[in-house]
Amino acid sequence: MSIRRILAGSLLIGLSACGTGQGDEIVIGLAGPISQANGRSFKFGAELAIEEINNKGGIKGRRLRLEIKDDEANREKAIQVAAELRDDPRVVAVVGHVGSAMSIEAARIYNDPARGILQISPASSSPELSEAGEWTFRVCPTDLQHGPALANWTRTKLGLERAAVLYANDEYGRNLLESYVNAFEGAGGTIVGRDPFIPALMEEDKALDPYLERAIRYGADAIVVAGQAPEALKILRAARRLGFKGAFLGADGITNLKDEGEIANGVYITSAFLPDRDTPAARAFVERYRQRYDELPDHRGAMAYDAVLLIAQALEEVGQDRRALRAYVASIGNERPPFEGVSGTIRFDHNGDVVEKDVAVGVVRDGALRTAR
């Protein structure tokens, strides 16, 4: 029975029964910030997919297992982890990494000309990953899609005219800054500030007060953070303390801001998957995830889940040979039909980027990120 039946009936993968012993396991690597907040849903989503596959008999009677490696959101650690997974003959493919910087560094290892291994990232959005090599794929949109989606919401949906952007002075922050600014100005908006920050130096909430005070003085009605949730929380607290009453927005990097209580209510965040996505597959996935973990998945969880299922489909069709698996995945949406996942339709271009993946805008309400209306 085909993996494509994931979205039909019970939405579980129909594979042949009769489990086998540990010696017959098929191993998929999982690499990301496992011990950190932004690795939680990523790990849970992958584990849920593995459980569902194994509960239906595995891949032609062989059980799947995750070989989990924590890259600690550190570039050097990501390289080490990637080498361990690439050089382990049991590992047939890798789901990871989460952060773009880690995925890009690890891709140098996975794209070894002599020992390549399939890498599918669920959440690395840097445009630079497009050039990583033939073994690297992703199932998430890039920063070049998040920025315009956020800018369009700010300008068109909210009707705001003057935005200040505070951005992490790293790959993610700079890419999001440029794509947001270009789209916002193209829609007739005015950027009243574009100021960098270095996350490691933001020890106090007051670190960016001068930027925020200037933005407020220049009439900003929107503050946009191009960075991660810990820094966004400090900026949000400071902005409210300084009397800013306007909209606060960011892209998927600040998703975990939803867990910070009342202060996060009303924050707008773009995402490639929201837990109220209104499709049968998404609803069923969210319910299973909620029952299993007593919380809602984020985009990292949904896309890790899809990445595991996609690899499972490839294993079912072409077996465990690494090059055959890579070729199969590259053919998705080309020589072969697209893959219909819980996060939407997955098809790849020649760079391994997912094509035409939607970017939604969510709003935080009482600890959950829901579709903004």
DSSP secondary structure of 196-229: EE-GGG--SGGGGHHHHHHHHHTT-SEEEEES-H
Is residue 111 located within the same domain as residue 190? no
Report field, pTM of the whole predicted structure over 0.85: yes
Is residue 236 located within the same domain as residue 300? no
**CA–CA separation, 12 vs 52, rounded Å?**
6
- Which long-range contacts (C-beta less than 8 Å, at least 24 apart) are formed by 101-104? 101/75, 101/126, 101/170, 101/171, 101/172, 102/31, 102/32, 102/33, 102/71, 102/73, 102/74, 102/75, 102/77, 102/78, 103/78, 103/129, 103/132, 103/136, 103/138, 104/128, 104/129, 104/132, 104/171
Which CATH number does the domain housing residue 25 bear? 3.40.50.2300
Give the residue carrying structure tokens 């800013």.
Answer: 244
Q: Any residues with CB less than 8 A from the CB of 205 and at least 6 apart, and which?
A: 234, 237, 238, 241
**CA–CA separation, 303 vs 309, rounded Å?**
10
Q: Is residue 367 part of a domain?
A: no
Is residue 282 located within the same domain as residue 305? yes
Q: Any residues with CB less than 8 A from the CB of 77 and at least 6 apart, and which?
A: 70, 71, 102
Residue 126, CA atoms < 13 Å, CB-side half-sphere: 21
- Which long-range contacts (C-beta less than 8 Å, at least 24 apart) are formed by 72-76? 72/33, 72/35, 72/36, 73/33, 73/36, 73/38, 73/39, 73/98, 73/99, 73/102, 74/102, 75/101, 75/102, 75/105, 76/105
Contact 218, 245 (CB under 8 A): no
- Which residue among 224, 239, 271 closes a domain? 271
Q: Is residue 104 part of a domain?
A: yes
At 177 the three-state DSSP class reads: helix
Q: Is residue 18 part of a domain?
A: yes
Is residue 42 located within the same domain as residue 186? no
Residue 229 tokens, joined: 């949730």
Q: Is residue 55 part of a domain?
A: yes
Is residue 184 located within the same domain as residue 195? yes
Is residue 113 located within the same domain as residue 172? no
Is residue 85 located within the same domain as residue 9? yes
Is residue 94 located within the same domain as residue 121? yes
Backbone angles phi, psi at 226, to 5 degrees: -105, 85
Is residue 249 located within the same domain as residue 160? yes
Is residue 239 located within the same domain as residue 228? yes
Q: Is residue 365 part of a domain?
A: no
- At 279, the amino acid letter reads T
Tens digits of pLDDT across the chain (373 residues)? 345 444 443 333 332 222 333 458 999 999 999 999 999 999 999 999 999 999 999 999 999 999 999 999 999 999 999 999 999 999 999 999 999 999 999 999 999 999 999 999 999 999 999 999 999 999 999 999 999 999 999 999 999 999 999 999 998 999 999 999 999 999 999 999 999 999 888 877 788 999 999 999 999 999 999 999 999 999 999 999 999 999 999 999 999 999 999 999 999 999 999 999 999 999 999 999 999 999 999 999 999 999 999 999 999 999 999 999 999 999 999 999 999 999 999 999 999 999 999 899 999 999 999 999 9
Is residue 259 located within the same domain as residue 160? yes
Domain count within the chain = 2
**CA–CA separation, 248 vs 245, rounded Å?**
9
Q: Is residue 99 part of a domain?
A: yes
Residue 4, pLDDT score? 46
Is residue 72 located within the same domain as residue 218? no
- Which residue among 236, 256, 271 closes a domain? 271
- Which residue among 204, 236, 271 closes a domain? 271
Q: Is residue 335 part of a domain?
A: yes
The range of the structural domain enclosing residue 70 comes to 3-141+276-358
